[in-house]
Amino acid sequence: MDDCLFCRIVAGEIPSDKVYEDEYVLVFKDIDPQAPVHVLIIPKKHYDNVLSVPADDDIMGKINEAVRIVAEKCGVDKTGFRVITNCGEDAGQSVKHLHFHLMGGRVLTWPAG
């Protein structure tokens, strides 16, 4: 989608601090990090949010592979981390392109806000 910030990052029209990339997924550092490790895992294809993924689509499996790779790469696979997706207004989803926050590198409080 032309007017989508993350689609524009995927297209290379807006720069990002890339951590990992494959055919399906892009991972880059959050511009406003809330933890020592705070990256966004996004599908290269546009989905509005987690409810927009068809049941027979395997993108969630690709995302999970990226979680494993990036958690190891960022050194939080042993210490622990959190994966969050905000969906819709009450969750405060500000970018309408499916994304997963992977956060770690400090003790994370619970419940999340």
Which of 2, 56, 90, 92 is in the footprint of ligand AMP by CB under 6 A? Answer: 92
- Of 17 and 57, nearer to ligand AMP (C-beta) is 17
- In terms of Cα–Cα distance, which of 21, 27, 46 is closest to 103? 27
- Asked if residues 12 and 3 have their Cβ atoms less than 8 Å apart, the reply is no
Would residue 101 show up in a list of annotated catalytic residues for this protein?
no
Say how far apart CA 48 and CA 96 lie, in whole Å: 5
Which residue from 84, 59, 74 is spatially nearest to 20, judged by alpha carbons? 74
Decide: is 4 part of the binding site for Zn ion (CB under 5 A).
Answer: yes
Is 30 an interacting residue with respect to ligand AMP (CB under 6 A)?
yes
Min dist CB 72 to Zn ion, Å, is 27
Count of residues binding Zn ion (CB under 5 A)? 6
89 binds, among Zn ion, ligand AMP, none (CB under 5 to 8 A by kind): none
* CA-to-CA separations, 11 to 7, 8, 44, 49, 79, in angstroms, rounded: 6, 5, 9, 19, 33
Taking CB under 5 A as the rule, does residue 97 contact Zn ion? yes
Name the site residues for ligand AMP (rule: CB under 6 A): 5, 14, 16, 28, 30-32, 40, 86, 92-95
